[in-house]
Structure 1
Amino acid sequence: MSDTWRLYDRDHRDFMYELMDTKVESIPLPLLGEIQLRPDIHDHIKINGEIYSVCILNLANNAAFVRRLDLSGNHDTEYKPNARCPHCGYEDIDCFEWSGDEGDRECGHCSLPFSYTREIIIEYSTEKKGPSNKPVRVEL
């Protein structure tokens, strides 16, 4: 078995689980490049000046599917409804499951560490329950 691994852009097509059981050569995906060692999930690989993270390994075909990361750090992460990674901007919609109102996490997209603070805001809404007038008891 060859130690050459082919790298494909996971975001080029819809996320396709059927690729796991299909010969990669039979699917028209653009090849980003090849490397000579087996990558691991969340490894960062630089391709043509861009940083990619390995997100899927197809062991049967020595193929890795990667997604491009924006590690510029220019991500708005304050006071958002969901936590966002300050490194890559990934929005974790399951952050409500995190324990505690503050802590340290590892991003599920780029695997880099960050800290978070959860702020809980209580707000109220009201609505009418009946007419807006009340019978007048006394009239002058």
Structure 2
Amino acid sequence: MQVDFYQLTRDPAEKVIPVLAQRVLDGDGRMLVVSGEGDQLDRLSTALWNAKPDSFLAHAKAGDGDDALQPILLSATPDAANGARFVALADGEWRDEALGFDRIFYLFPPSHTDNARTAWRTLASREDVERRYWKQDGGKWVQGP
């Protein structure tokens, strides 16, 4: 499994999640986006609707329809009712339940750096986890050491 740590120093999760979601969908995958903050789920939903000028990224909040049909499901918990193998932890909170997915996108703002460091160190001892750290450099993402 792969865990990508995204340090959000320039753009909020609402700008990054649509880009990651589009990549997952382009590869015929499904994504679960997790945030314990209801307001953030609302902002993420708006961002997915407005992600592209000519279309939108199909999604729904968990419980608002047939969750199993959603290519992107927004949820307060890491329960992939849509069968997703990709999960984005959008609120900066690490959840060990995410380790059941094939790939984890862990987005964290500077205020959650300590959480990210703890998760990074904890995952270092797992042979089945490949960790990658990404940071913003100007307008693009670069892989850090």
**TM-score exceeds 0.5:** no
TM bucket by the smaller chain? under 0.3
TM-score by length of 1: 0.21
**Structure with max Cα Rg:** 1
TM-score by length of 2: 0.20
- Structure holding more helix per residue: 2
Q: With CA pairs under 8 Å and 6+ residues apart, which has the higher RCO, 1 or 2?
A: 2
